Structure 1
């Protein structure tokens, strides 16, 4: 099965010059915890509810803080034509619960989450990925130095 068969296609995005208030409102309205950040047609980051809590609120920053100041700039992504089992394994290794999905010409076409993968019925692979994702620390830990 390819990623495009499991991904969510209706992706909400924000821009780096928008505020964390804008991102939080979008997350609330759409019941999501992460939003890709685009600059023009380029994917330049991801902002999560945890980014807002840890990199903004915990540091005393206000709701008008720019998304570009708190977003994760290292964008991990996958291609829409990649094998879903391979991507699931990678998600466990890099400890992320969701990945933006791009076409081969690097245009954002969706987002795939561990929930999307679980909905495809491979409980064993989903469990293995969650084991990796839930491990302490790792290169994508926001509190790791």
Structure 2
């Protein structure tokens, strides 16, 4: 089974110059925590999460009405998979990188959807595999002190 068979298609993006208030409203309306940030032609340029908004902006006293998404979005390498990849490959990536969602790109590197841990659990028949992925995602990356 390929990623495109179980992903959520037509995932929404936020633009880098939109405000954090715009991003927060979109997150609320879509009932999501992370939003892909897309520039021209749906090219992925980053991700922003509800946590990014709080930790990188609100906690520093920045105004969400004027602070842009670009100023608070994650700048680390974006973790993604391709729509024609096998679901098991996507699950392995989620396990190894300890993420609950992956942006899905086509081979032209344009965003076409998102695949989540929930998609793996509800759309595949391998419930044991989904449990393994969840277990590994929830493992602390570093020992707690």
TM norm structure 2: 0.89
Find the counterpart in structure 2 of residue 68 from structure 1: 70
Find the counterpart in structure 2 of residue 18 from structure 1: 18
1:93 is the counterpart of 2:115: no
- RMSD (Å) for aligned C-alpha atoms: 1.3
Query: Matches of 1:61 and 1:137 in 2, distance apart?
Result: 30
Larger Rg: 2
SS at match of 2:57: helix
Task: Give the alignment partner of residue 110 of structure 2, picking from 101, 107, 110.
Answer: 107
Query: Matches of 1:6 and 1:113 in 2, distance apart?
Result: 9
Find the counterpart in structure 2 of residue 83 from structure 1: 86
1:58 deviates by 2.2
Find the counterpart in structure 2 of residue 52 from structure 1: 53
Query: Matches of 2:130 and 2:62 in 1, distance apart?
Result: 36
Unpaired segments ≥5 residues, structure 1: 139-145
The answer as to whether partners of 1:78 and 1:101 remain within 8 angstroms in 2 is yes
The answer as to whether partners of 1:89 and 1:125 remain within 8 angstroms in 2 is no
1:39 deviates by 1.1
Unpaired segments ≥5 residues, structure 2: none
Query: Matches of 1:6 and 1:129 in 2, distance apart?
Result: 16
1:99 deviates by 0.9
Find the counterpart in structure 2 of residue 123 from structure 1: 127
Find the counterpart in structure 1 of residue 2 from structure 2: 2
For structure 1, which segment, 55-64 or 108-117, has the greater mean C-alpha deviation from structure 2 after superposition? 55-64
For structure 1, which segment, 57-66 or 35-44, has the greater mean C-alpha deviation from structure 2 after superposition? 57-66
Which has more helix, going by share of residues?
A: 2
Query: Matches of 2:61 and 2:132 in 1, distance apart?
Result: 37
